[in-house]
Structure 1
Amino acid sequence: MTQDPTTPAPPLPCPYDESFARDPHAVHARLRAAGPVHRVALPDGSPVWLVTRAADVRAGLADARYSVDKRHSTTGFSGFSLPPALDANLLNVGPEDHLRLRRLVSKGFTARHVELLRADVRTCVDELTARLADTIARTGEADLVAEFARPLPLRTIGALLRVPASDQERFSGWVATMLAPRSKEELVAAVGSVHRFLVELVERRRAHPGDDMLSSLIAARDEEDRLTEDELVSLAFLILMAGSETVQHVISGGILTLLSHPEQLAVLRADPSRLPEAVEELLRYTGPNQTAVRRFPTEPVEIGGVRIPAGDTVLFCLAAAHRDPDRHPDPDRFDIDREDKAHLALGHGLHYCLGAPLARLQITLALGTLLDRLPGLRPAGPVEELSWTSTFRFHALRALPVTAD
Structure 2
Amino acid sequence: MTTLETSAPTGQEPPPVRDWPALDLDGTEFDPVLAGLVREGPLTRIRLPFGEGWAWLATRYEHVKLITNDPRFSRAAVARGQVTRLAPNFAPRPGSLAWADQPDHNRLRKPVAGAFTVGAMKRLRPRAQEILDELVDALVHEGPPADLVERVLEPFPLYVVSEVMGVPDTDRDQVHSWTRQIISLCGGAEAADRAKNGLYGWITDIVRARARSAGEDVYSMLARAVARGEIGEEEAVGLAGPLQIGGEAVTHNCGQMLYLMLTRPELMARMRSRPDERGPVFDELLRWIPHRNTVGLARIALEDVEIAGHRIAAGEAVYVSYLSANRDPEVFPDPDGIAPDRDPNPHVAFGNGHHYCTGAVLARLQLELLVDTLLDRLPGLRLAVPAEDVEWRRQTMIRGPRTLPVTW
Normalised by the length of structure 1, the TM-score is: 0.88
Moved more, 203-212 or 337-346: 203-212
**Structure-2 residue corresponding to 1:260:** 263
Deviations 1:321-349 (A, max 9, x none): 11121211111111211122221111111
Q: Is the 8 A contact 1:87 1:234 kept in 2?
A: yes
Q: Is the 8 A contact 1:389 1:398 kept in 2?
A: yes
C-alpha distance in structure 2 between counterparts of 1:26 and 1:77, whole Å: 20
**Structure-2 residue corresponding to 1:328:** 332
Q: Does 1:38 align with 2:44?
A: yes
Match of residue 170, structure 2, among 154, 166, 172: 166
Q: Is the 8 A contact 1:150 1:176 kept in 2?
A: no
Match of residue 277, structure 2, among 274, 278, 294: 274
C-alpha distance in structure 1 between counterparts of 2:282 and 2:23, whole Å: 30
Moved more, 342-351 or 141-150: 141-150
Moved more, 340-349 or 169-178: 169-178
C-alpha distance in structure 1 between counterparts of 2:337 and 2:254, whole Å: 19
C-alpha distance in structure 2 between counterparts of 1:19 and 1:181, whole Å: 11
1:384 Cα deviation (Å)?
2.9
Residue 311 of structure 2 aligns to a residue in which SS? strand
Match of residue 246, structure 1, among 245, 249, 254: 249
Match of residue 232, structure 1, among 216, 219, 236: 236
C-alpha distance in structure 2 between counterparts of 1:71 and 1:30, whole Å: 26
Match of residue 286, structure 1, among 286, 289, 292: 289
1:359 Cα deviation (Å)?
1.0
Could you tell me which amino acid in structure 2 is paired with residue 116 of structure 1? R
**Structure-2 residue corresponding to 1:127:** 134
C-alpha distance in structure 1 between counterparts of 2:136 and 2:394, whole Å: 27
Q: Does 1:48 align with 2:33?
A: no
Could you tell me which amino acid in structure 1 is paired with residue 37 of structure 2? L
Moved more, 297-306 or 87-96: 87-96
C-alpha distance in structure 2 between counterparts of 1:17 and 1:293, whole Å: 15
Could you tell me which amino acid in structure 1 is paired with residue 266 of structure 2? E
C-alpha distance in structure 1 between counterparts of 2:268 and 2:26, whole Å: 27
Moved more, 296-305 or 178-187: 178-187
**Structure-1 residue corresponding to 2:402:** 399
Could you tell me which amino acid in structure 2 is paired with residue 217 of structure 1? L
**Structure-2 residue corresponding to 1:386:** 390
1:19 Cα deviation (Å)?
8.7
1:212 Cα deviation (Å)?
2.2
Decide whether aligned partners of structure 1 residues 33 and 108 sit closer, same or farther in structure 2, where only a CA change above 3 A counts: same
Decide whether aligned partners of structure 1 residues 338 and 112 sit closer, same or farther in structure 2, where only a CA change above 3 A counts: closer
Tell me the percent identity: 32
> Across the two proteins, how many residue pairs are aligned to each other?
391
Residue 362 of structure 1 aligns to a residue in which SS? helix
Q: Which has the higher helix share?
A: 1
Q: Is the 8 A contact 1:15 1:40 kept in 2?
A: yes
Could you tell me which amino acid in structure 1 is paired with residue 302 of structure 2? T
Decide whether aligned partners of structure 1 residues 328 and 390 sit closer, same or farther in structure 2, where only a CA change above 3 A counts: farther
1:27 Cα deviation (Å)?
3.2
Q: Is the 8 A contact 1:249 1:396 kept in 2?
A: yes
Q: Is the 8 A contact 1:73 1:313 kept in 2?
A: no
Decide whether aligned partners of structure 1 residues 82 and 198 sit closer, same or farther in structure 2, where only a CA change above 3 A counts: farther
1:381 Cα deviation (Å)?
2.3
C-alpha distance in structure 2 between counterparts of 1:402 and 1:244, whole Å: 21
Q: Does 1:187 align with 2:192?
A: yes
Could you tell me which amino acid in structure 2 is paired with residue 58 of structure 1? K
1:383 Cα deviation (Å)?
2.3
C-alpha distance in structure 1 between counterparts of 2:79 and 2:404, whole Å: 44
1:119 Cα deviation (Å)?
2.0
Decide whether aligned partners of structure 1 residues 198 and 74 sit closer, same or farther in structure 2, where only a CA change above 3 A counts: closer
C-alpha distance in structure 2 between counterparts of 1:239 and 1:75, whole Å: 25
Decide whether aligned partners of structure 1 residues 175 and 101 sit closer, same or farther in structure 2, where only a CA change above 3 A counts: same
Match of residue 204, structure 1, among 202, 209, 233: 209
1:98 Cα deviation (Å)?
0.7
**Structure-1 residue corresponding to 2:381:** 377
Could you tell me which amino acid in structure 2 is paired with residue 319 of structure 1? L
Moved more, 18-27 or 163-172: 18-27
Residue 278 of structure 2 aligns to a residue in which SS? helix
C-alpha distance in structure 2 between counterparts of 1:134 and 1:82, whole Å: 45
Q: Is the 8 A contact 1:145 1:248 kept in 2?
A: yes
**Structure-1 residue corresponding to 2:33:** 27
C-alpha distance in structure 2 between counterparts of 1:396 and 1:232, whole Å: 29
C-alpha distance in structure 1 between counterparts of 2:147 and 2:283, whole Å: 25
**Structure-1 residue corresponding to 2:121:** 114
Q: Is the 8 A contact 1:25 1:319 kept in 2?
A: no
Decide whether aligned partners of structure 1 residues 106 and 287 sit closer, same or farther in structure 2, where only a CA change above 3 A counts: farther
1:376 Cα deviation (Å)?
2.2
Could you tell me which amino acid in structure 1 is paired with residue 106 of structure 2? L
C-alpha distance in structure 1 between counterparts of 2:111 and 2:252, whole Å: 28
C-alpha distance in structure 1 between counterparts of 2:31 and 2:105, whole Å: 32
Residue 83 of structure 2 aligns to a residue in which SS? coil
Decide whether aligned partners of structure 1 residues 348 and 42 sit closer, same or farther in structure 2, where only a CA change above 3 A counts: same
**Structure-2 residue corresponding to 1:305:** 309
1:360 Cα deviation (Å)?
0.8
1:304 Cα deviation (Å)?
1.0
C-alpha distance in structure 2 between counterparts of 1:298 and 1:145, whole Å: 43
Q: Is the 8 A contact 2:298 2:317 kept in 1?
A: yes
